[in-house]
Amino acid sequence: MPTVVRFGKLRIAIYLNDHGPAHVHVMGAGGEAKINLCARGRKPRLVVNNGLTQADLAFALRVVNARGSFLRRKWKEIHGGNLDPE
């Protein structure tokens, strides 16, 4: 599971051999959240939160939104170019 971005106490990873649609896993001290990387022009969407605080989750969504182009590019590199947009 390559870590692709670190921001403060949060780590954003894209799992190898994962399934679409394109998404990232955000890990923090208290848990993990899964956030879909929606198609360009749409904001990332929370899929599930397992233990991140509301503050960490809000920060994670802001970071994923700000780094969306980079994260979609990394997803394509890892998973053969298929984003499977919703």
- Asked whether the beta carbons of 83 and 37 are under 8 A apart, the reply is yes
34-86 pLDDT per residue, tens: 999 977 678 899 999 999 999 999 999 999 999 999 999 999 888 876 565 44
Cα–Cα distances (Å) from 33 to 25, 57, 78, 81, in that order, read 6, 8, 20, 23
Distance CA 86, CA 62 (A): 20
- H or E element, residue 84: none
The model carries a pTM of 0.88
Say which DSSP state 40 is in. T
Q: Which of the two residues, 19 and 28, has the higher pLDDT score?
A: 28
Domain limits, the chain: 3-79
